[in-house]
Homo-oligomer: A and B are copies of this chain.
């Protein structure tokens, strides 16, 4: 694995070959993990003129980490506890002859940026921008394998829940049980706080579980994901509770399902992000629910949930092969509830079989 990370650091460096004697300081945790395989709290990575160094403050376990990760990465734990590792990294960059230091201005706070400037006054501070995030967009097969396992875990956890009795249980309890099952099946933890929404709450994006209990006739919508080795998937389904759904429930479900399918079918290398969004949105628009949609109808997943690309009306750019995304339309009717359906897929060319569906739980409207 250390080779994979060294290769990613080389690629980042090559992309900046024009930047001269410039060192790079990476601070955003997901970017650190991508480039080194680990992201201790407050750690930073220096890609220096002379060497690559991961600077950590007190590591979580309390044991000093000192040494190397692979051949090309030195690890340095700071002795002066409480100090910001970014300052030590900037000092080393200056001492190693770097003229400038490219920083993640979208992650560093104003106060921290100023402290770095003071610690190494002769370094010119520049903006690295989203260079690492850009590099993270297209996943390698090892990353996709992790996402595939994460999705399988989420499918298993949800499948088991559906076999149990749901009526009378609270949203909070169902969410906690799902998270326990994710861990049972090998997840490092949930990918994000599990959402369970019943009755009038169903279908609301990002609903946080309450003490409301599942009742006969409810819509029940669930959104969960597993974190497997840092990689996060997303799976959302909506069910009805009781023997037979009401006709408004069937109609709303069919509509959201049709919109979600249109989004999935629009996924292809070269498809514009906004075209995928439009495929979903126009179906809901024409049924009069366009204003019920959130700002995006899907997003990238990987080391972060909700990473780029964003599938939204204002998004620029086109999809590439091996980019995993979610397609997640939802309609929530205040006071009545609603429907969300959420899959994680990997964009693949038609020759490779088209979009690869990672979350395979059925999307039939189940009456539980």
Taking Cβ atoms with an 8 Å cutoff, the residues of A that contact B are 58, 60-63, 81-82, 103, 105-114, 127, 172-173, 176, 179-180, 183, 204-208, 292, 294-296, 312, 314, 330, 332, 334
Contact = CB atoms under 8 A, between A and B. Distances in A.
Contact of A334 (B63, B113, B180): B63
A179 B179 CA distance: 11
A176 B180 contact: yes
B295 A82 contact: yes
Given A179-B176, A332-B62, A294 B81 contact: yes
A21 to B, nearest CB: 22
9 contacts: A81-B294, A82-B312, A103-B110, A106-B109, A106-B112, A109-B110, A110-B113, A110-B127, A172-B183
A107 B62 CA distance: 27
Contacts of A330: 62
A177 to B, nearest CB: 8
Contact of A62 (B60, B110, B204): B204
Residue from A62, A180, A296 having most chain B Cβ neighbours under 10 A: A62
A179 to B, nearest CB: 7
A157 to B, nearest CB: 12
Given A105-B110, A105-B111, A107-B109, A61 B207 contact: yes
A259 to B, nearest CB: 16
Contacts of A205: 58, 60-62
A218 to B, nearest CB: 17
Top-3 shortest CB links A-B: A81-B295, A105-B110, A106-B111
Contacts of A106: 109-112
Contact of A109 (B108, B114, B334): B108
A296 B107 CA distance: 26
A133 to B, nearest CB: 13
A314 B82 contact: yes
Given A110-B105, A176-B179, A292 B332 contact: no
A64 B278 CA distance: 22
A62 B294 contact: yes
A101 to B, nearest CB: 13
Contacts of A208: 60
Contacts of A113: 110
Contacts of A127: 110-111
A27 to B, nearest CB: 10
A332 B62 CA distance: 8
Contacts of A176: 176, 179-180, 183
A111 B61 CA distance: 33
Nearest to A193: B189
